[in-house]
Amino acid sequence: MRLPMNEVPSSAFRPRNFGFVLFVILLGVGAWIVLEANRPWAKWVTFSSPSTAVAGQPFPVHLELASPIPAGRLGIDLHGRGGSSPSRRSTVVGVFSTELQPGQGSYRVEIPLNPRATSRFVRAVIYLSPTGHWKDRLRSANTEDFDLLPAGSSASTAAARITAQRVFDLGGVSVVPRVRSWRIRTLTTTLWLAAFGILALRLARTRGVPVVLEPGRRPLAETWLCVAFLIAAVADGFDLSRALGDVARRLAHRLSAYESRVPGQQLISALAIAALVGASLTLFRCRMPIPLRIAAAAVTCALGLVCLDSLSLHAIDEIAEKPCWGWPLIQWANLTCAVMALVGIQLARPPGSAPP
């Protein structure tokens, strides 16, 4: 049966929805490009090498260190990952260390590669340390992955072309210090609990009482909103982003994937930004009353910030941890979300109440 031209089935795909999905996808791609451009480049060292390594063959490296040259030792570890081993851990397949010479910034070395290495990829980790130990490092950086060919391959690193490689700063213990004010955390948690209490009390009073809801208003939606307020309160009160970040960091160290974490962090951060903006815009476009849309978008943004804070990507940390009137910007953002949510809940009329 053919429908009249002025009638479109509700399940039909709307061009406006396609445009919105395309916008979110482009937003994610744009976020990834911006984050990639803001990766922490290591300005204190330039690293040149072949783009492929061969197990059992020396790996030639040319390093240039920027002045001033500190006293201590230069270390270069080649970390291999992937391959036939069932373990997901990376392994050290090559090690080099030398005393730093005063005023000498250029070093041409050959790093011996383990002939039994079965990894698919290898990356160089460069560090300067007064003692030569990684834990005492003053500066550290790593390269991106190179292909690692098995021993006996016909390729030769001796004849390979040496080109400049991208090098990213790893810093010391922490590239961007994480500072949080317990006062603003307490205030933000209190506001989330207040929004949760108000909405929970309204839902309890209307339970079992027949009411006429406003268009687009659903008791289930308000129940989920109430749960979201409680999660936001717990996240701020217990500094959940720090706890999640510590767990992820320990897991990365356990799997020896800490040095190669950035691409994954960057991809997830870009997806989180796109999802956060997409979800907020979807809530603003839904049929709920405007005050509830504001409250829902505010708590969505707050939970998205928890996710981004947990990932602790350097490019985002630089913005999030920037102080403003003594508090980091991310705490101001969380406080703003809590205020907007509380105001939205206060302005929203209880279900079934008569309009003014």
Tens digit of each residue's pLDDT (9 = 90 or more) over 274-331? 988 888 888 877 777 888 889 999 999 999 999 999 988 877 888 888 888 888 999 9
Percent of the chain whose pLDDT exceeds 70: 83
Tens digit of each residue's pLDDT (9 = 90 or more) over 201-243? 988 887 654 444 454 455 677 888 999 999 999 999 999 999 9
d(CA 172, CA 133): 12
What pTM, to 2 d.p., does this model score?
0.67
pLDDT of residue 115: 87
pLDDT of residue 120: 87
d(CA 11, CA 86): 47
Average pLDDT over residues 247-275: 80
Q: Please, which pLDDT band fits residue 84 given cuts at 50, 70 and 90? A: low
pLDDT of residue 13: 46
Q: What is the SS3 string spanning the chain?
A: CCCCCCCCCCCCCCHHHHHHHHHHHHHHHHHHHHHHHCCCECCCEEEEECCEEECCCCEEEEEEECCCCCCCEEEEEEEEECCCCCCCCCEEEEEEEEECCCCCCEEEEEECCCCCCCCCEEEEEEEEECCCCHHHCCEEEEECCEEEECCCCCCCCCCCCCEEECEEECCCCCCCCCCCCHHHHHHHHHHHHHHHHHHHHHHHHHCCCCCCCCCCCCHHHHHHHHHHHHHHHHHHHCCHHHHHHHHHHHHHHHCCCCCCCHHHHHHHHHHHHHHHHHHHHHHHHCCCCHHHHHHHHHHHHHHHHHHHHHHCCHHHHHHHCCEECCEEHHHHHHHHHHHHHHHHHHHCCCCCCCCC
Tens digit of each residue's pLDDT (9 = 90 or more) over 13-36? 455 677 777 888 888 888 888 887
pLDDT of residue 64: 93
Q: 119-123, 177-181, 294-298: which has the minimum mean pLDDT?
A: 177-181
